[in-house]
Structure 1
Amino acid sequence: MSELKQRISDEMKAAMRAKAKARLGTIRMILAELKRIEVDERIELDDARVLATLDKMQKQRRDSIEQFNAASRDDLADIEQQELLVIKEFLPQPLTEAELTAIVNTAVADSGAQGMQEMGKVMALVKPQVQGRADMGAISQLVKNRLNS
């Protein structure tokens, strides 16, 4: 079992003991998604895949919050916000703007990319380094800006 998945399981047990229903529900949802992936693909998840799944769940919560706020459904947005806070606990510390810029600049130099048509090469180098630590939309914009300059 991956180290991160084990940590999530341990947190579930702690939430059960503390009778923290909202937290417990979110952690169970995370574990259910991880189990679904393992069963569907017949694999044992490693930390990188768990991080990718958590990152995807985080993005889903952000999108939902945005849509609920637009529809004036603050009650549902609050629930999604609480879930997002629990999910973020298991993700690594976010990267700073300077760190992201340095990673993008290094990836552009390493790939030898000259224009937008080679953006895929740069993103392939950047993505593993920032998975779960930065919004991929923001990274994509950074890469576009760097390749256009």
Structure 2
Amino acid sequence: MSLLETLNEDMKTAMKAKDKSTLSVVRMLKSAVMNEKINLGHDLTNDEEVAVLSRELKQRKDSVREFEKGNRDDLVADTKAEIEVVEKYLPAQLSEADVKKIITETVSEVGAQSMADFGKVMSSVMPKLKGQADGKLVNQTVKQLLQ
């Protein structure tokens, strides 16, 4: 079942359950996927779907940080609930240990020695971890390994 079909089914379920918060998030996700489909002019591949979902997740995580800075606890709770809904559609996230292992293997594959090779490592490792690990975690881990 494609992501759009899953979103449609979940939208129906949320409507029947009168779950307004889940319904609004699912509608936003469906809208984002449809907009991406229109922009690209073709049905989305799995990688493209994950990219859209990851972008939506990142926006919500950034919002949580901003709301916390502004002491808006009411909005923090709502946004964290949205994050849980979005994460349901993403592939399972790798643990920090798994991420570090993949990055370590990639560092040795590309022969990276110092921070000068940071870009080379990142361009090689991100396709391997796309949708499975937070970009900030990957960035920090690569920097730690290259120091």
Whether the TM-score (by the shorter chain) exceeds 0.5 is yes
Alpha-carbon distance in structure 1 between the residues aligned to 2:72 and 2:96: 32
Partner of residue 3, structure 1: 2
Partner of residue 125, structure 1: 124
Q: How many residues align?
A: 147
Deviation at 1:52, TM superposition (A): 1.3
Alpha-carbon distance in structure 2 between the residues aligned to 1:115 and 1:86: 39
Deviates further, 112-121 or 64-73:
112-121
Aligned-pair identity (%): 34
Alpha-carbon distance in structure 1 between the residues aligned to 2:9 and 2:122: 34
Partner of residue 22, structure 2: 23
Native 8 Å contact 1:93 1:133 kept in 2: yes
Deviates further, 78-87 or 116-125:
116-125
Deviation at 1:108, TM superposition (A): 0.8
1:13-42 C-alpha deviation (Å, 9 max, x unpaired): 221222211101100000101111111222
TM-score normalised by the chain length of structure 1: 0.90
Alpha-carbon distance in structure 2 between the residues aligned to 1:75 and 1:55: 24
Aligned 1:69-84 pairs, distance under 5 A: 69-84=68-83
AA aligned opposite 2:34: K
Moved over 3 A (4+): none
Alpha-carbon distance in structure 1 between the residues aligned to 2:3 and 2:32: 14
Distance 1:50 1:101, change over 3 A: same
1:114-146 C-alpha deviation (Å, 9 max, x unpaired): 222222221122212222222111111111111
Matched, 1:48 2:33: no
Deviates further, 117-126 or 55-64:
117-126
Partner of residue 108, structure 1: 107
The runs of 5 or more residues in structure 2 that have no matched partner are: none
Deviates further, 124-133 or 54-63:
124-133
Partner of residue 60, structure 1: 59
Native 8 Å contact 1:61 1:83 kept in 2: yes
Secondary structure at the residue paired with 1:72? coil
Native 8 Å contact 1:5 1:47 kept in 2: no
The runs of 5 or more residues in structure 1 that have no matched partner are: none
Alpha-carbon distance in structure 1 between the residues aligned to 2:138 and 2:24: 31
Partner of residue 136, structure 1: 135
Partner of residue 88, structure 1: 87
Native 8 Å contact 2:118 2:143 kept in 1: yes
CA RMSD of aligned residues (A): 1.6
